[in-house]
């Protein structure tokens, strides 16, 4: 039986084993899938041993995605530009292939929710690894992207990386008042501490779509703020669907089959 695992630190909270168990039941493909908490200072050694011991593939979560990018022998184009890897596959000839399915996972979820259209003008909040991993997919879908971040130098850096991939700009929080966006995506971890990015309320109008890559039971702090400022509930969504969709694309890379995700997302929503 093939063997897969998700690596992170901490990792007890990971829902990946639940998701992959549901994928396995749906598709009839049987495989082992476990959590592995890798020590912060020896991730590469633990990962190398995993593959030497017969591991077939791995998911990578915080804080190891950039190290996995370095570990891989080969990279997909989207992984190369994202500077991080969340999915690894050991090929039949022994090389480790690295991919990043976060961006396509986000696009898949936004399409499922009918929250994205080509030519959308998107505000992407944050310029860390989560934001960088989804920019290429947003640009490839035909959207224009404006990055805003507390540290503007980081936003400038990302615009330079992706300048040849589509329409991308950066701005500052204090310059947002009066601007118009079709879709606002929060790619920061502000929700973990119950905080909301310092956005002007003028960004929120009746038809604006708001997506938080963070998820929790009930509305995240960012989505609650959007609702309080008159965004429609039907236009608000968190990142649980993205979590399932990115996992589904990893599953497809490993097994050659794309799971049906909507039913899995509904099942997972009942568990949190």
The residues annotated as belonging to the active site are 65
Three-class SS of 147-204: EECCCHHHHHHHHHHCCCCCCEEEECHHHCCCCCCCEEEECCCHHHHCCCCCCCHHHC
Give the 3-state secondary structure of residue 220.
coil
99 token code pair: 């991919």
Query: E-strand spans in the chain?
Result: 3-8, 32-37, 57-60, 74-75, 87-90, 96-99, 121-125, 144-148, 168-171, 183-186, 209-212, 236-238
């Amino acid at each position: 039986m093939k063997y897969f695992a998700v690596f992170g630190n901490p990792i007890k909270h990971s829902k990946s084993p639940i998701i992959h168990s549901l994928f396995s039941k749906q598709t009839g493909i049987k495989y082992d899938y476990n959590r592995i908490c890798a020590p912060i200072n020896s991730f590469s050694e633990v990962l190398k041993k995993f593959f030497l011991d017969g591991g077939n593939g791995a998911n990578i979560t915080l804080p190891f995605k950039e190290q996995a990018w370095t570990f891989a022998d080969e990279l997909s184009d989207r992984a190369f530009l994202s500077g991080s890897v969340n999915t690894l596959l050991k090929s039949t000839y022994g090389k480790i292939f690295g991919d990043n399915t976060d961006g396509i996972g986000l696009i898949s979820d936004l399409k499922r929710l009918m929250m994205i259209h080509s030519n959308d003008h998107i505000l992407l909040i944050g310029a860390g690894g989560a934001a960088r991993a989804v920019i290429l997919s947003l640009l490839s879908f035909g959207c224009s992207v404006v990055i805003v971040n507390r540290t503007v130098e980081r936003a400038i850096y990302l615009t330079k990386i992706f300048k040849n991939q589509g329409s991308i700009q950066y701005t500052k929080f204090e310059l947002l008042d009066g601007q118009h966006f079709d879709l606002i995506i929060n790619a920061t971890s502000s929700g973990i501490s119950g905080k909301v990015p310092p956005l002007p309320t003028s960004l929120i109008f009746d038809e604006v779509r708001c997506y938080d890559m963070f998820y929790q039971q009930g509305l995240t702090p960012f989505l609650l703020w959007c609702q309080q400022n008159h965004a429609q509930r039907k236009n608000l969504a968190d990142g649980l669907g993205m979590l399932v969709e990115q996992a589904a694309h990893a599953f497809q890379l490993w097994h050659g089959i794309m799971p049906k995700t909507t039913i899995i997302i509904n099942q997972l929503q009942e568990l949190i």
